[in-house]
Every structure is written in structure tokens, then in C-alpha cells.
Amino acid sequence: MAIEKLKEILQACWSKETCYPKQKENWNKNNPSLGQCAVTSLIVNDYFGGKIGKCSVGDISHYFNIINDKVIDLTMEQFNCTVNYNAISIMVRENILNDENTKLRYEILKCKLKENLNMLEKYDVWTKEFMESWKELDWKRTLDVIAKDCKYYENPVDEPCANFDEIVKLWEVVKENQKDITYSYEIVAYNEDVAIVNWQMKRAFIPTNSVQNIDGIFEIAVNDEGKCTLFKQWRFTK
């Protein structure tokens, strides 16, 4: 996982519960990294190793990471000033965790991060299988990741498919009308209920003997069995 992705996920996990006690009253969603530096530096250290540094911003102690001699500071945005990293101390991880409140907040953040990563993995596994089976034109495999009672919208204008047989009819012609598929995707937003996936595809469309470039959006819900229970798509084809 890239450090940028970890930061993106941590932003969804930070809360008043994981905030430094003296700053809790000022914490809000407009400044989510406020009071999160110590616990965040510990999380980054879990994933990327390196060292944990400490400096002062005004009269506030501020923690950050040093990885391959480079400063990595995922919570610097909490400040309205530039952070000076010239005068720093290298901290011992165990000493940071000796503080019971810091240890508790770290455990809470670690738990929230794990839950968030599990959600992301669920949506990623589903999307990869859906797109890969589409690429291979294996429509039966595609249908295998769609629940029989899925609320399936082929486009945002029409009503959803009345039943699973209608979904089958949409997919059983795939092998006849397209080939040479390449694709990419990114899960751009998600929660416990739904995920939004931005995807791109290039394919040869056999009926018109043309090459299509598609930019699309999926809105999906996936159950505990890995089956899609809600599917909506928007797509622009060039």
C-alpha cells in the first residue's frame, strides 16, 4: 500500500476518539488531523518502518515519521503554519506507547483502520473479479458474483432489471459483440453499505467494427458472501 493511500484511509478513521485529549474540544471534520500526530506516526511506523521524530510547533509537541531519510508527516495539515523539522528528537516507539492514553488511542485507530481496510478489500476483490471476467468474456463467471436478487441498473435512466433472467440476457451476448478488452479501475469512495468505482475500458465492439473507449462509474453493494446486491452504472463511450 502506498503512503498516499494510507493517508486517505486514515483520514476516514480519525475522530475525536483518537484525538489528543487537550485538543478534543477543537477537533472537527474540517480539520481531521488535529491531535492525531502521535497515533498516526505509530501506524505509519507499523506499515513502513523507519523512525518516529518529534519537534515543536509553537508550544505543541508534534510527531512525524522519517523513512529512508525523508520526512513523512501525514498530520502537518492541522497547522496553519510551516512545520520546522530542523530541531527534532528521535523517539523510541515503546516510550510513546508507555502513555496509557496514547496507547488506547493507537489501539482504537488501528482497529478502525483494519475495519476500513477490510471494507476496501471486499470491494476491490469484487471489482477485480467482475472486470477480469468481463475482460475474459466469461459471462457465466461474471454472473457468479451477482446475487440472484440483485437490484441491477444497466443505466441510471431505466428501471432495474425485473429479475435475474434479465441480467443473464444482458451478459450472455458479451462474447458475441466485443473482444480485446483492457481495463483499469479505482475505488474512489466507500462505506459499509456501498462503494463508488471509477473504471475505464478499451474494447473492440464487433457490431460496428469500432474501438470504444469507455469511462464509467459503478455504484455497488456487496454482501458477506462476496455477491453484488446493488449495481448501478453510468458510462460515457467514445
**For residue 99, how many other CB atoms are within 10 A of its CB?**
12
- As a whole-number percent, the residues of the chain with pLDDT over 90 amount to 95
Provide the 8-state DSSP code for 64.
E
Phi-psi region at 209: left, alpha or beta (left = phi > 0; alpha = psi -120 to 50): left
Average pLDDT of the residues of the chain: 96
What does DSSP say about strands 228-237 and 146-153: parallel, antiparallel, or unpaired? Answer: parallel
Sign of the dihedral through C-alpha 157, 162, 168, 172: negative
- The contacts of residue 150 (CB under 8 Å, 6+ apart) are 161, 164, 167, 227, 228, 229, 230, 231
C-alpha cell read off for 128: 477485480
Three-state SS for 93?
Answer: helix
Instruction: Look at residue 174 and tell me whether its pLDDT is greater than 90.
Output: yes
Q: Give me the pLDDT at residue 65, please.
A: 98
Q: Give me the pLDDT at residue 54, please.
A: 97
Instruction: Look at residue 8 and tell me whether its pLDDT is greater than 90.
Output: yes
Asked if residue 6 lies in contact with residue 44, where contact means CB atoms within 8 angstroms, the answer is yes
Read off the pLDDT of each residue in 206-210 and give the average, rounded to a whole number.
94
Q: Give me the pLDDT at residue 1, please.
A: 83
Closest by CA position to 174, among listed 220, 135, 211, 124? 135
pLDDT in tens, 40-74: 999 999 999 999 999 999 889 999 999 999 999 99
Closest by CA position to 131, among listed 61, 44, 228? 228
pLDDT in tens, 140-165: 999 999 999 999 999 988 999 999 99
Q: Which residue has the cell 501525514?
A: 74
Q: Give me the pLDDT at residue 73, please.
A: 98
pTM, 2 dp: 0.85
